[in-house]
Amino acid sequence: RVVGQRDVIEKAEEMMEEMRMSDKRHMHAASLSRGDKRRLEIAMCLAQDPRLLLLDEPTAGMARADTNNTIDLLKQIKEERDITIAIIEHDM
């Protein structure tokens, strides 16, 4: 399928909203916090509408608040989408 620029922009806006990052949509990715960068990476994966999401240490190096927010977000994604999420995490 050929995707037009408008489709890409609409999908990006939709993903930023879903990841609770709409307020950061004009920021350069390099200036985002570690937690926001991880959420952006997850959004980029979800934009492709996968049926399986494999995450290797998605909260590594995050502050506790960012870790908790990411876990809550992953639970929300699981509830709202028909998707399997496999997580590898070393932080017990």
Give the span between the Cα atoms of 33 and 62, in whole angstroms: 9
Which pLDDT does position 86 carry in this prediction? 95
What's the token pair of residue 79?
């509830």
pLDDT-derived band at 12 (thresholds 50, 70, 90) equals confident
pLDDT-derived band at 88 (thresholds 50, 70, 90) equals very high
**What are the structural domains of the chain?**
5-88 (3.40.50.300)
The predicted model scores a pTM of 0.77
What's the token pair of residue 91?
């932080």
H-state helical runs in 1-92: 5-18, 34-46, 64-80
Q: What is the pLDDT of residues 38-66, one digit of tens each?
A: 888 888 888 888 999 999 999 888 888 88
Mean pLDDT in the chain? 86
